[in-house]
Amino acid sequence: MSNASLSPLPSADRPDVTARLRDALLGASFTADGLLELLGAPAYAALSRSETVPALRATRGDTPLELLVRLFLLQQPVPRARVADVLPVDACLESGWLDRAGDDEVAATVDVRPYGGSDGEDWFIVSDLGCAVGGAGGIGRHARGVVLGVGGASTTLAGLTVRTPVSAALDLGTGSGIQALHAAAHATRVTATDVNPRALHITALTLALSGAPAADLREGSLYAPVAGDETYDLIVSNPPFVISPGARLTYRDGGMSGDDLCRSLVQQTGERLNEGGFAHFLANWQHVEGEDWTDRLRSWVPRGCDAWIVQREVQDVTQYAELWLRDAGDHRGDPADYQARYDAWLDEFEARKVRAVGFGWITLRRTAAAEPSLVAEEWPHPVEQPLGETVRAHFDRVDYLRSHDDAALLEAHFTLAGEVVQEQVGLPGAEDPEHVVLRQNRGMRRATRVDTVGAGFAGVCDGTMSAGRILDAIAQLVGEDPVALRDRTPAQIRLLVEQGFLEPA
């Protein structure tokens, strides 16, 4: 099945119809909250796993909301006469949102999924039929240009993006437009690019149906559609990062060798960011035999940028190939074809000496600092989304530590971050713990081991005393030389600040 066999899209040039459709959807409570109330948590969660049976069972009635869920989210034909009581059916047929199905029924031409904005907005994500719930579900093997709806990667990127008012934002590889939609809420001007013209059309529909301002939509790969002198305060991209032996599927395969697409994207970003501007990417990277993955990623970071790279998951090459073969539905086809594609994937990895593939996020911030900060770490543990404020605070702490030497740290005042708890680990009945752990219950939810001095120091920090005075008091309590304690403790204070356990008062 080629691009030509994909369903014709609704017109993007009928704002009157789109506005009437939006009003009708909101009037019937076709929203994220409305769906949760109608379907219940189990059926609602099942949709994200591409399982629609629970939702079908929950929409057997005849209310307007049940009708709209079957029509736009579950792609079921519904009686035209009944739709006419809920939607401007003639206008929707004329502009392409609906199509006739038999003599007396209509069907949706696109998926429409209610989506809650970060500030409680009622938005709608438009995508190709069958792609709004749970990803491609095998559709990708039929249609190269298919445009997916909201998935876990989309919401992860949206959640970790720094949300501050900006003048200009750029969404590279916009897909169904979810990142552009988020950016439109806090950017004066939004530019969205995609190599797939169908994705740009769908992004226009997503923005219009969500009541958001239109974006500047440009066709092309990576930064190619952007003029040489254009710079931005925010750049976001959920690129086609899958490392595959060929560019079969537009929505996931970048068409470059190995992880070159992600590398090129990151390396070209520095010159596109304004001073203080942020860039956020999801990416895959190769773990190559004889090479540390952090060294590989460090080489990607452009000059003049601070970077925070977090590896969330690592899969060996067999797990990785199986994941994406299943994503495309290849496991449901001819076994010989499946085996051939699996072999091709492993051949590609073997030729490049790739032993595993990492997944995570990369955040850049343009800086004028003489020595930019570069943090690359592995953190596979649960985090608290949204993380945008946590990301912004990380770079604020980078600036603080860069401008404070050890002497300045001892003169500074700190407070213990909110919802930090202390855990003592040791044998039952022991007089002293073997070690003490500080643990965050917010943001990255980090845990770090400290000595008794570090634990005592953190517990006393309420902003009233300088770090040096606190250490002098601790030295007196434990009978230690205060000068020696002042000499050895700043490194521990620096680490606690860097990881967000302590905040400058």
Tens-digit pLDDT profile for residues 382-405: 999 999 999 999 999 999 999 999
Choice among 56-65, 255-264, 373-382 with the minimum mean pLDDT: 255-264
Q: What is the pLDDT of residue 247?
A: 64
- The Cα–Cα gap between 173 and 40 comes to 33
Q: At residue 167, does pLDDT exceed 70?
A: yes
Query: What region, left, alpha or beta, does residue 46 occupy, with left being phi > 0 and alpha being psi -120 to 50 degrees?
Result: alpha
Q: What is the pLDDT of residues 200-210, one digit of tens each?
A: 999 999 999 99
Residue 183 CA: distances (Å) to CA of 54, 158, 241, 300, 420? 33, 9, 21, 25, 32
Q: At residue 138, does pLDDT exceed 60?
A: no
Q: At residue 140, does pLDDT exceed 60?
A: no
Residue with tokens 């960011």: 273
Choice among 144-153, 232-241, 317-326, 463-472 with the minimum mean pLDDT: 144-153
User: What's 112's DSSP letter?
Assistant: E
Mean pLDDT for 336-351 is 94
CB 116 within 8 A of CB 32: yes
pLDDT band at 1 (very low <50, low <70, confident <90, very high): very low
Give the predicted TM-score (pTM) of the model: 0.94
Residue 259 backbone phi and psi in degrees, to 5: -100, 25
Mean pLDDT for 15-19 is 97
Q: What is the pLDDT of residues 168-206, one digit of tens each?
A: 999 999 999 999 999 999 999 999 999 999 999 999 999
Q: What is the pLDDT of residue 139?
A: 52
43 Cα distance to chain centroid: 24
CB 460 within 8 A of CB 399: no
Residue 300 CA: distances (Å) to CA of 153, 438, 451, 461? 21, 33, 36, 38
- The Cα–Cα gap between 447 and 39 comes to 38
Q: At residue 476, does pLDDT exceed 60?
A: yes
Mean pLDDT for 238-247 is 85
Residue 130 CA: distances (Å) to CA of 36, 100, 250, 298? 20, 18, 16, 39
User: What's 253's DSSP letter?
Assistant: B
CB 500 within 8 A of CB 393: yes
